[in-house]
Amino acid sequence: MPGCRCRRRSRRATATSHHGFTYTGDIITARVAVVGSLSECLRTGALSVLTWIAIGRCIRRFHDLGVCHADLNAHNVLLSEEAVYLIDFDRCELRGPGLWCDMNLVRLRRSLEKLTWALPPERFAEADWHALLDGYRQNSAPGAPPAP
Ligand SMILES: Nc1ncnc2c1ncn2[C@@H]1O[C@H](COP(=O)(O)OP(=O)(O)O)[C@@H](O)[C@H]1O
Ligand SMILES: [Mg+2]
Provide the pLDDT for residue 25. 80
From the CA of 86, how far away is ligand 1's center (Å)? 10
pTM of the model: 0.83
Which of 85 and 143 is assigned the larger pLDDT? 85
Provide the pLDDT for residue 16. 76
Whether 81 has a pLDDT exceeding 70, the answer reads yes
Report d(CA 77, CA 83) in Å as an integer: 10
Report d(CA 64, CA 128) in Å as an integer: 22
Active site residue 71: yes
The one catalytic residue in 26, 64, 71, 128 is 71
Provide the pLDDT for residue 10. 36
From the CA of 145, how far away is ligand 1's center (Å)? 33
H/E stretch holding 140 = none
Whether 73 has a pLDDT exceeding 50, the answer reads yes
Cβ–ligand 1 contact at 87 (below 6 Å): yes
Q: What is the pLDDT of residues 3-61, one digit of tens each?
A: 555 444 334 455 778 888 888 888 777 888 999 999 999 999 999 999 999 999 999 99
Q: What is the pLDDT of residues 111-139, one digit of tens each?
A: 999 999 999 999 999 999 999 999 999 96
State which ligand 1 atom lies nearest to the alpha carbon of 30. 1
Provide the pLDDT for residue 148. 47
CA distances to 11, 13, 20, 66 from 26, in Å? 14, 8, 18, 21
Q: Comparing C-alpha atoms, which of 72, 66, 69 is closest to residue 94?
A: 66
Cβ–ligand 1 contact at 111 (below 6 Å): no
Confidence of residue 102 (pLDDT cuts 50, 70, 90): very high
Whether 103 has a pLDDT exceeding 90, the answer reads yes
Report d(CA 135, CA 57) in Å as an integer: 5
| Residue 52 contacts residue 132 (beta carbons within 8 Å) | yes
Provide the pLDDT for residue 24. 85
Cβ–ligand 1 contact at 34 (below 6 Å): yes
Cβ–ligand 1 contact at 71 (below 6 Å): no
Burial zone of 22 (CB within 10 Å; 0-12 exposed, 13-18 middle, 19+ buried): exposed
Q: Does domain 35-137 have CATH number 1.10.510.10?
A: yes
